[in-house]
Amino acid sequence: MGTEKCARGWDLANFLPLLAALLAQYWAAAHPTAVEAYWSSAYPLIDLCLSTLALLLPVSPTEVCLLLLILGICWLLARGFRSRHLGPLRLVWRGVCRSALLCGLLALWFLAGWGLNYRRPPITQRWHLAVEQVDETRVRKLAAEAVLLANTGPITEPSEPWDLAQDASRLASLVRSVCHQMDGPPPLLSVAVRIPVAWRLLEWLGIDGLTSPFFHEVLLNPQQGSRVRNAVLAHELAHACGYAREDAASLVGLLACKRSPNPADRYAYALFVMMHLWKVPLADGRKALEHLAPGPRRDLEAEWARLKARRSPLTRAQSALNDFYLRSAGDPHGTDSYSRVIILLAAHRHCPSLRRDR
């Protein structure tokens, strides 16, 4: 009888990490100032440890851990089928307990390593961006600026294969510069940037890039548009720097591209802005394109065609799952945050303390 009670106690203990993760989420949501202190003090040390590990390994630790996780689940299922003497209900209960333990440990790792950054004070509050004052006129000025930048952009084809090391080093320095100006000293951002072995999975899911919250490495899809890929890379580097929300990461990444001395970075900024203008109610994308030169227009249409061609039930399911994840992690706008960067950029142009980017 005592052994059975002890076993039940251990089963219930499997839920403690998951409970701790839920309590940490609620605590972080109620104390954004403390989360900001975590970003400036503890997060740089965590980032240094995790990114150093990712840099030392010749392969992506995220992919390795994902493979080990799949193999471990298969092993546990096989082991469970061999333990038929426990009975079906006991087997199901044990599976639920082990799943809760695994999910809880992963959730704690996610929150401590990166996920708490979702609960930082909104970037509009930290940067004093008056988004409520953004109107059609300000968005039109932003669009005109992007068109002008695109018309003076590069007309040569980007180098192939993609020189990730050079682009990542340059953009990481620019992202840190933006962070330092606005939020104080950021992490070192010595992040590993890779094209994963399973990059085709990213293409099937409609993902151009992602930042692993567990190892602070950036994984990129090599099939993404060559004209906008530097903007995607800068966006992911901003994630690694602790800007978890999509609109904040896009704002930091796009400002880094805009400040860059490299014409390809500034061109990627212009195309990225024009791609998202169509999703903003205040913007009239057709009017913005009236003055676009033939070269940038072809690049923009090619990028739209690429995105349209890969639409599928799988990409729509991924988008819905991503929206749920973002909202549950603390981003109230969900996937709408990607296009909300237009409003933030328009507000940023009229911020008195940031006139160098106007």
DSSP 72-107: HHHHHHHHHHH-GGG-HHHHHHHHHHHHHHHHHHHH
Last residue of a domain, one of 118, 146, 172: 118
- The answer on 335 and 352 residing in a single domain is yes
Last residue of a domain, one of 118, 144, 170: 118
Task: Give the pair of three-digit tokens for residue 245.
Answer: 């929300």
- Chain-wide mean pLDDT for the chain? 86
- The answer on 327 and 202 residing in a single domain is yes
Mean local confidence (pLDDT), 296-316: 90
- The answer on 300 and 334 residing in a single domain is yes
Last residue of a domain, one of 118, 149, 177: 118
- The answer on 267 and 191 residing in a single domain is yes
Q: Is the pLDDT of residue 185 over 80?
A: no
- The answer on 200 and 98 residing in a single domain is no
122-152 per-position pLDDT tens digit: 999 999 898 888 888 888 889 889 999 999 8
Q: What is the CA radius of gyration of the chain?
A: 23
- The answer on 193 and 48 residing in a single domain is no
pLDDT at 210: 93
228-264 per-position pLDDT tens digit: 999 999 999 999 999 999 999 999 999 999 999 999 9
- The answer on 141 and 40 residing in a single domain is no
Report the chain's terminal Cα–Cα distance, integer Å.
Answer: 74
- The answer on 217 and 144 residing in a single domain is yes
How many domains in the chain? 2
- The answer on 197 and 73 residing in a single domain is no
pLDDT at 191: 85
What residue numbers bound the domain in which 238 lies? Answer: 121-357
User: For residue 280, is it left (φ>0), alpha (ψ between -120 and 50) or beta?
Assistant: beta
Rounded Cα distance, 8 and 1, in Å: 11
- The answer on 107 and 188 residing in a single domain is no
Band (pLDDT 50/70/90 cuts) for residue 281 is confident
Percent pLDDT > 90 in the chain is 44
pLDDT at 356: 46
pLDDT at 321: 94
Q: Where are the alpha helices (DSSP H) in the chain?
A: 2-13, 16-30, 32-56, 61-82, 88-113, 123-126, 136-151, 164-183, 199-205, 229-240, 246-259, 263-277, 285-288, 294-309, 313-329, 337-349
Residue in the structure block whose two tokens are 């090391």? 165
- The answer on 135 and 238 residing in a single domain is yes
Within 10 angstroms of residue 59's Cβ, the number of other Cβ atoms is 11
Sheet with 217-220, side-by-side order of all strands: 192-194, 217-220, 209-211
Longest dimension (CA), the chain: 81
Q: Which is it for strands 209-211 and 192-194: parallel, antiparallel or unpaired?
A: unpaired
Q: Is the pLDDT of residue 79 over 50?
A: yes
Q: Is the pLDDT of residue 32 over 50?
A: yes
Q: Is the pLDDT of residue 48 over 70?
A: yes
Mean local confidence (pLDDT), 42-71: 90
- Quick check: helix, strand or coil at residue 116? helix
Rounded Cα distance, 196 and 209, in Å: 10
Band (pLDDT 50/70/90 cuts) for residue 349 is confident
Inter-residue contact 144 to 274 (CB < 8 Å): no
Least confident stretch, 109-118, 157-166, 224-233: 157-166
pLDDT at 226: 80
- The answer on 298 and 167 residing in a single domain is yes
Inter-residue contact 299 to 151 (CB < 8 Å): no
Task: Give the pair of three-digit tokens for residue 293.
Answer: 């030169």
